[in-house]
Amino acid sequence: MRKKILDIVPPKEEFPKKVNLKDNEGESREKAGFGVEREKNRFPWFFIKAFGVLFLVLAIGGGLLFSLLFARAKIEISPETEILTLKTKVNVAPAALNAYTSVKDNSIPGKIFEDERTISRKFFSSGKALKERRAEGIIRVYNNYSTSPQPLLPNTRFVSDKGKLFRSTKREVIAGGHYEKGKFVAGFTDIKVRAAEPGEEYNIGPSAFSIPGFRGTPKYTYFYGKSFSPMAGGFKGEVPQVTLEDINNSEDALVKEVEEESRDFLKKTLSDDYILLDRAVFQNVVEKNASAQVGAEAESFEVKVKIRSQGIGFKKSDIKNFVKDFINSSLPKEKTFQESSIKIDYLVDDSFSGKDSSSKDNKSSFPEKIVLDLVIRVKTYQKVNLNDLKKAISGKTTDEARIFLENLSYVKNVNVNNFFLKKRIPEDIHRIDIKMNLD
């Protein structure tokens, strides 16, 4: 009898068959295997979330470890300070130096600045004067008496038909008449007359005049005068007058204005690195005159002034370098100063040497140099070797470092900022930052 040999075949994984189901609208859906696919998709999302949490933990831990290993200690020290006041003199000489060299020279270079300007201005007079003027005019005097000329003495009287009296200003001769074709023609002469009294009432219009001196004689009716233009110039009252005070005050005011304007111009034309002090500007009045004299009858007058300005300026950088060198030379070796705290007061010394010590016209002479009196104020403090301090506190606890620094005689206040998990100052001095707070 034959034996049957059966091969053992490992069982195959069977998957449910896909069953097509139709819904009400005729669409098919795959039902079989749907649950298995959902189980397969869960694993990647869980892995991503777990990896993210692990990465975050490692990052935070690494950051903390890095901070512990490489953290820096930041220390702020406020030292004891003192305001030091120093006084010195410095020469500013335009011709002596080209550049600042050393505080031992006691000099800095200067530069000359110049300006010249002229201004004219109208001013009003303040004076009053009683003014009297007599009216004047021309009268034509007729000789209807004879062919002979008739002389008239100076101040011969002429009375107008309205009774206003005028007099001739000089000796006159009235021409004699003549005959034309058997008819007598009167001669005449035009003469200048002036009113007997001042006043506007003598400014009369054209009038007829008689000569009172001929009254009682035949000549009275044959010699007469006529004016063809009004008499003018008669006046009696107050008039404006220029006084000495008017001229002096106007000239002084204009000189002051021009000097100030010229100084401002010099300062505006300076470069930012230059200083020009008011007392280092020397000004001369080149020209000064008024259009009216004292006592002139005028409501206004004009004043003209010409000013020349010359000043000696100096560079801010030069004076700053000089002052820093002077402070360093004045301080003990163990002291230093805060450069930003330097304050300088300038005063031009009157003892500078000028080109002309005496001026005949009382004008200021331009000097060869100026001397500045300097008052210097600066904040000073003890010199500190920061590397030595870092070495002294390295490896100490935060409290030990603070106590050590606070016990230093030149320290007023200490602020230590160390990493919150790091209770000691780093051993490496390169990871210790020390800042001097001088405010």
Strands 73-79 and 432-436: parallel
Q: How far is CA 267 from CA 10, 22, 238, in A?
A: 109, 101, 48
Q: What is the DSSP letter of 393?
A: H
**pLDDT tens by residue, 120-144:** 999 999 999 999 999 999 999 999 9
- pLDDT on residue 93: 86
pLDDT exceeds 70 at position 60 = no
Q: How far apart are CA 415 and CA 213, in angstroms?
A: 120
Q: Which two tokens stand for residue 177?
A: 């008449």
pLDDT band at 367 (very low <50, low <70, confident <90, very high): confident
pLDDT exceeds 50 at position 25 = no
Q: How far apart are CA 248 and CA 175, in angstroms?
A: 56
Q: How far apart are CA 62 and CA 15, in angstroms?
A: 49
**Other CB atoms within 10 A of residue 202 CB:** 25
Q: Which two tokens stand for residue 258?
A: 């021009």
Phi and psi, residue 398, nearest 5°: -60, -45
Edge-to-edge strands, sheet with 432-436: 411-417, 73-79, 432-436
pTM: 0.60
pLDDT exceeds 70 at position 217 = yes
- pLDDT on residue 56: 65
**pLDDT tens by residue, 269-301:** 898 999 999 889 999 999 999 999 999 999 999
Q: Which residue has the tokens 């990896």?
A: 51
In the chain, the amino acid numbered 318 is D
DSSP per position, 319-366: HHHHHHHHHHHHS-TTEEE-GGG-EEEEEEETTPPBS-S--TT-PPPP
